[in-house]
């Protein structure tokens, strides 16, 4: 049947059509959770957060656990696991606020807020499901930064492995995360008005905040506690298999550490991932070749330690350098950290049990300084800080390194002495001889059949 619309019928439909159009125009738009939330960025940051937590448990736990003697393996695993729990509480109660509360901060103005945050966000006050940091929920940003606050003190534990009281370790780490980690984090990452931020110091993912900070505290702790019984005799790792598994987990998890620090699923994250892989592989190969040349054989322990050195050194530079800069950083970090973990340690005679200073301290310094040059676009980088030349950027990076070394070293020494005077730092000689697994936890990592 043929349908036709004549003018009288069209005339009757016009008022209804006009009302329909008016209703569509006046209807409110569908509500959105937040105009600035980006689901892609959020999904990536949720993944990156899980990867960084994976670095401590189980990654660092196994890496360190395999390097100690069998009678102390559980003590190392316990330290990493307990720090994951305790540092979470510290971060929620006051750590996040001290690190990221920006009350009183003003670009170009140096005041107390330039060095440490207030307590406006203590107990995560004012943080809700709809709170935002950039394009991701603040809850995700808080948890992501929490994983950094967890792994940093865990790195320090490698320097005093096999001889520090568990209670002393916990007390020291709570004090250290409050008095050392939070201020350095605040100065570096809390934005305009923060001391390091205003100076244009580049630290994309924690070369200063995490690695130099932890490495210097580790060296001080090793010196204050003294050497292990039997050192400098041969104290071989009890399981390199476990160590390699842990190192492999660290390598994978580090993509969350560096690429996640872009706080977005974008080109910066992609470049951070690429340069992380390049620097790590280069440092691992460099360490392997040095050992091969010097000792005639490459070692498994050497190549995994070299990989960690590369991961450390590229961390501050991962958002600033290009692939060729990463290659250079990998080579230099492999050489310097090999020297620090072998020649320097033996020459000076300190017992940095698991080379926390030799790898993290020296690797962080290498990465922080080399960022100053290879961030330049002329050298393939992503660009120096605003208004900087290569010379001024290098000077700014040096300031960041020196201030962190002095502050972390002095305050760590004071805190260790306080803890020692209150509860004592070191286990008794007979406890150290039996092993910390039995002495401190009444357990053993391995049981032999009778």
Residues 378-391 have pLDDT tens digits of 999 999 999 999 99
Has residue 260 got a pLDDT over 60? yes
Tell me, what's the pLDDT at 35? 52
- Report which DSSP code applies to 228: P
Tell me, what's the pLDDT at 24? 37
Over the chain, what is the mean pLDDT?
Answer: 93
Tell me, what's the pLDDT at 31? 39
> What residues contact 22, with CB distance under 8 A and at least 6 apart?
none
- Residue 3 vs residue 415, higher pLDDT: 415
pTM: 0.91
How far apart CA 63 and CA 110 sit, in angstroms, is 41
- Residue 18 vs residue 204, higher pLDDT: 204
Residues 119-170 have pLDDT tens digits of 999 999 999 999 999 999 999 999 999 999 999 999 999 999 999 999 999 9
- Residue 9 vs residue 434, higher pLDDT: 434
Has residue 16 got a pLDDT over 90? no
* % of the chain at pLDDT higher than 90: 90
Short-list 343, 348, 412, 370, CA closest to 160: 412
Tell me, what's the pLDDT at 348? 94
Contact present, 235 and 66 (Cβ < 8 Å): no
Give the pLDDT band of residue 12 (cuts 50, 70, 90).
Answer: low
Has residue 450 got a pLDDT over 90? no
Element (H, E) at 402: helix 390-422
Element (H, E) at 136: strand 136-137
Task: Please name each of the domains of the chain with its CATH number.
Answer: 39-108+132-441 (1.10.3430.10)
> What residues contact 44, with CB distance under 8 A and at least 6 apart?
260, 264, 265, 269
How far apart CA 88 and CA 239 sit, in angstroms, is 29
Tell me, what's the pLDDT at 445? 94
**Per-residue H/E/C for 317-351:** CCCCCCHHHHHHHHHHHHHHHHHHHHHHHHHHCCC
Contact present, 120 and 97 (Cβ < 8 Å): yes
> What residues contact 312, with CB distance under 8 A and at least 6 apart?
207, 211, 333, 337, 359, 360, 363, 364, 367
Residues 351-406 have pLDDT tens digits of 999 999 999 999 999 999 999 999 999 999 999 999 999 999 999 999 999 999 99
Tell me, what's the pLDDT at 308? 98
Tell me, what's the pLDDT at 421? 98
């Amino acid at each position: 049947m043929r349908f036709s619309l004549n003018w009288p019928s069209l005339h009757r439909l016009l008022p209804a059509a006009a009302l329909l159009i008016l209703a569509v125009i006046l209807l409110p738009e569908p509500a959105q959770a937040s105009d600035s939330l980006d689901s892609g960025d959020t999904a990536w940051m949720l993944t990156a957060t899980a990867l960084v937590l994976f670095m401590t448990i189980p990654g660092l736990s196994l890496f360190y656990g395999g390097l100690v003697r069998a009678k102390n393996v559980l003590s190392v695993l316990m330290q990493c696991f307990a720090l994951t729990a305790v540092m979470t509480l510290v971060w929620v109660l006051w750590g996040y606020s001290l690190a990221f509360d920006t009350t009183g901060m003003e670009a170009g103005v140096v005041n107390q807020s330039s060095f440490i945050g207030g307590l406006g966000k203590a107990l995560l006050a004012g943080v809700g499901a709809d709170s935002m940091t950039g394009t991701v929920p603040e809850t995700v940003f808080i948890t992501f930064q929490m994983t950094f606050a967890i792994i940093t003190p865990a790195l320090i534990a490698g320097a005093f492995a096999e001889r520090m009281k568990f209670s002393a370790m916990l007390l020291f780490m709570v004090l250290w995360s409050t008095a050392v980690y939070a201020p350095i984090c605040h100065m570096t990452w809390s934005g305009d008005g923060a001391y390091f931020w205003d100076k244009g110091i580049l630290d994309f993912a924690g070369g200063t905040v995490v690695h130099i900070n932890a490495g210097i505290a580790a060296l001080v702790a090793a010196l204050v506690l003294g050497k292990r019984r039997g050192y400098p005799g041969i104290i071989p790792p009890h399981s390199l298999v476990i160590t390699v598994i842990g190192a492999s987990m660290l390598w994978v998890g580090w993509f969350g550490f560096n690429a996640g620090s872009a706080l977005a699923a974008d080109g910066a994250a992609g470049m951070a991932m690429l340069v992380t892989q390049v620097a790590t592989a280069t440092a691992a190969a460099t360490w392997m070749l040095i050992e091969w040349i010097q000792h005639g054989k490459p070692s498994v322990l050497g190549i995994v330690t070299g990989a960690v050195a590369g991961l450390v050194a590229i961390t501050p530079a991962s958002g600033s350098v290009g692939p060729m800069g990463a290659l250079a950083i990998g080579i230099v970090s492999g050489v310097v950290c090999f020297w620090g973990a072998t020649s320097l340690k033996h020459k000076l005679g300190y017992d940095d049990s698991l080379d926390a200073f030799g790898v993290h301290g020296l690797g962080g310094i290498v990465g922080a300084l080399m960022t100053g040059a290879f961030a330049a676009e002329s050298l393939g980088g992503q660009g120096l800080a605003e208004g900087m030349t290569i010379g001024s950027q290098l000077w700014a990076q040096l300031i960041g390194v020196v201030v962190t070394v002095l502050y972390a070293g002095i305050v760590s020494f004071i805190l260790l002495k306080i803890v020692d005077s209150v509860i004592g730092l070191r286990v008794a000689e007979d406890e150290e001889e039996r092993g910390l697994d039995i002495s401190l936890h009444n357990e053993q990592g391995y049981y032999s059949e009778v």
